Structure 1
């Protein structure tokens, strides 16, 4: 059993996407299961919010029309506009359930070539129409929602039409790939060559290569190659000022990296259209084990020892007692450490044994049936991990907050950060709702010098107050992270929701350089306004007049 990656095949390679919630439409929990789930949370609503149909929506009228030369690329159909209004954050799901589609784009563009991407940007720059690059819309930080209110119209540019693997260099183990390809399709096209990108974020089925690059996504590797950055040879990016293509080399010391400018730029500096990506041979040997701890502090010490051992486990997920119980991996107040190792060319049982022994040295108790093929607890964790976004949506329908946020800090500050976040978020929920919250923590990625804790907050809210309570929780989390010197995001990106924390974290000289880059690359200020920088940072443009046609 491969406990680290999604299934290698899908019954339906093109599932109908939910316009309002996570993932595939037919995977959403039915009303009866929503009600049963809500009954487990004191104070939850008694009945689920209904799911609106597209015909039930009152979308604002489109303010702009596609020019005739681009009409074949663009649509103002209600299902297109509704499905591209929001990402998949909790507050996005709730607003969709309440039929609040005020930020809907006026048009959805679906280019199928780089030339068409350029044509859309050229028209939009002249017409003062904002363009929001859209991979597959799995952003949980407001990354694809237009909020600026300064442009004459908004186009959501859906890039999933750029979905080909253009070239494979088997000798160098690399491939040139278009940015709009979804995770499963990419792996399917690499599989016949015995290769894999091996980048599996939780959103793997519903996100694109370009989205991973633009947000500096974290994959399933818990150590070593944790971010998509590590897998990039070169990028090709279309900007209103021209096409930027970096030199394809294994490494370079020639000045600041041109790739780093666009990795994590979230569509505000340009549109990533292609990338040369480093690949690897598909792993044939895999093993996993789960180790239980009576105390979370002892578990933290064990994970730190593992991260500094040089053994580089592919999976090293530490679940605190609440998270372990939620995933049905452990009970009785125990923490659980899920370990996984893999290799293409040699057995890995010996390395797994070393990792388990390190955990034993810190009081860990291994679960039975580890080794090649996995163990039952690890399999249970994987199933819960992939199912969790659908459960989040079901809780949203029951007016239960189910929010997650992630960060990273050094080992010396980690225990204080975890304790402070738990107390602060619990106090925030009590003040906002009068109820107690469940605040859980797990480590998703670990480094020799620190780790990335990932928090889950679950609490009932009064029906109609869900977004306000979510906003309070987000503000409290950002304040705690800033006060304790932790990053506002480890792999979810900045978007619009994390802007206050990003502005606080970002050095001012770098902010000046970023604003200058924005003004040069996007002089009309049309690209994803409000992400990373204020829309007001763009040069002034004339307002008023009739909408462009």
Structure 2
């Protein structure tokens, strides 16, 4: 299959035909915009500038200056990235795309770039939605380092149930290599098919589990990172109290401190027992209370996603007043029906009506299918002048009602101010005993040529509302360049100073991913 240079995933999987007709029909019922389709330009029509730098002869075989290669590595996969690509607006592109074969190649690339003052952007699958892989600067040439060749499960320790895995491996190939051993990492972010282990680690990815093992952090045993100042490798241990954790330094560092080359990851036996159900609520407040009860019960469901009424209608076709809670349990060791049964008792205590306990396609199945198609559908809507994007956060339970109201109102007010007609939805992607991770969606009619500017105003408004009402600027999408203004305000000043000093120590020439996390 061929990857799309301008949008999500594979060209062959784009929304078209009956699926496109059905999508546009649903959108017309929600908005009043005129849905006229547009196509992305061919890469040969982009007029990209010539590379400003040439690789030394010893590294030339690792580097590509192909126009399509450079265009495909210029942006991530956020709505604003897709729309700019549709307009052929690639103001900043890498001069070269380098693909190291091994760690020695990577060290040589960093030595060359540090010596010549060339910026380096580490690149996994390029699925960033926060400007994390975009060379948004003009003052120096840039080499994007794509780790796709480092894609092997190198070693498996079945006794400790861990695997040493190279950072450039994409999700499907990772699971393919673990499957013969009866093992799985069981980390399935929405970007699973088009993102890598190194990207998950560098951005603290959130994955399959709605509770307990929510972030990739929870699965790390040790990491190996190549920095301009040397190689850092932490010791394999189940836990340690020996000072601040080296792994915590690099988890979430977004490529500014070094490039992750491999990690020992905790893996699991593949699940054998599963149980699931959906629960409908007539009142949203009751649905939230039920979700909190499940999150605080110690049952730890694998799936515990609450969809508000709009989200349920758009992505499952279920019409409900309050919301739909999707529950699922799984285990490799024991049956899980009893855990599901207790969770459903808690939901009934809050007025929930249980559905889909057995047989046929469940609401959860419909949701999962829709979830996997969402990025492709987002691209189709973007081609039709729609604003279709998401933003996410996390807060404590005591602040949720206030935050939800403030963020929803900020989004609606911003929609009115940019003259966009649409809806705001909310779902919980993850839940903790002390709070949820709300994930908001905006679906609105825009004006072709203005949708990026319209979205930027909406994004700024909701980000301010989250910051003012106890939310984080990001729960799992990372900081990148887009979230920097709010991240700078969220982190403590002493920590900012320590991070800046660490950056100077590990990357003295300041070549790694300039503009991300720190000035």
Shorter-chain TM-score bucket reads over 0.9
Q: Which residue of 2 aligns with 1:3?
A: none
| Equivalent position to 1:336, from 316, 324, 327 | 324
Shift of 1:56: 2.3
| Equivalent position to 2:87, from 98, 123, 129 | 98
Q: Which residue of 2 aligns with 1:415?
A: 401
Shift of 1:148: 2.6
Shift of 1:36: 6.0
| Equivalent position to 2:489, from 499, 504, 527 | 504
Q: Provide, for residues 219-243 of structure 1, a one-character-per-residue CA deviation record: whole Å limited to 9, x for no partner.
A: 1100001000000000000000000
Q: Which residue of 1 aligns with 2:412?
A: 426
Q: Secondary structure at the match of 1:61?
A: coil
Shift of 1:30: 3.0
> How many equivalent residue pairs?
516
Q: Which residue of 1 aligns with 2:215?
A: 227
Contact 1:38 1:44 in 2 (8 A): no
Shift of 1:34: 4.7
CA distance in 2 between partners of 1:268 and 1:52 (Å)? 32
CA distance in 2 between partners of 1:463 and 1:317 (Å)? 34
Mapped pair 1:307 → 2:295: yes
Q: Provide, for residues 90-125 of structure 1, a one-character-per-residue CA deviation record: whole Å limited to 9, x for no partner.
A: 000000000011211000001110111111110000
CA distance in 1 between partners of 2:425 and 2:336 (Å)? 31
Mapped pair 1:58 → 2:47: yes
Contact 1:292 1:337 in 2 (8 A): yes
Q: Which residue of 1 aligns with 2:285?
A: 297
Cα gap change, 1:334 to 1:220, in 2 (>3 Å): same
- Alignment TM-score, normalising by the size of structure 2: 0.97
Unaligned 5+ segments in structure 2 are none
Cα gap change, 1:27 to 1:322, in 2 (>3 Å): same
| Equivalent position to 2:371, from 375, 385, 390 | 385
Contact 1:286 1:341 in 2 (8 A): yes
| Equivalent position to 2:167, from 148, 170, 179 | 179
Give the 5 Å matches for 1:109-258: 109-151=98-140, 153-258=141-246
CA distance in 1 between partners of 2:381 and 2:260 (Å)? 35
Shift of 1:44: 3.0
Shift of 1:374: 7.9
Runs of 4+ in 1 over 6 A off after TM superposition: none
Contact 1:287 1:340 in 2 (8 A): yes
Unaligned 5+ segments in structure 1 are 1-14, 535-549
Contact 1:290 1:375 in 2 (8 A): no
CA distance in 2 between partners of 1:188 and 1:59 (Å)? 37
Contact 2:287 2:306 in 1 (8 A): yes
Q: Provide, for residues 352-391 of structure 1, a one-character-per-residue CA deviation record: whole Å limited to 9, x for no partner.
A: 11111111110100114x15x7851111011011111111
Contact 2:171 2:193 in 1 (8 A): yes
Shift of 1:329: 4.5
RMSD: 1.3
Contact 1:428 1:473 in 2 (8 A): yes
Q: Provide, for residues 223-282 of structure 1, a one-character-per-residue CA deviation record: whole Å limited to 9, x for no partner.
A: 001000000000000000000001110000000000001000000110000100001111
CA distance in 1 between partners of 2:65 and 2:360 (Å)? 48
Contact 1:319 1:335 in 2 (8 A): yes
Shift of 1:170: 0.3
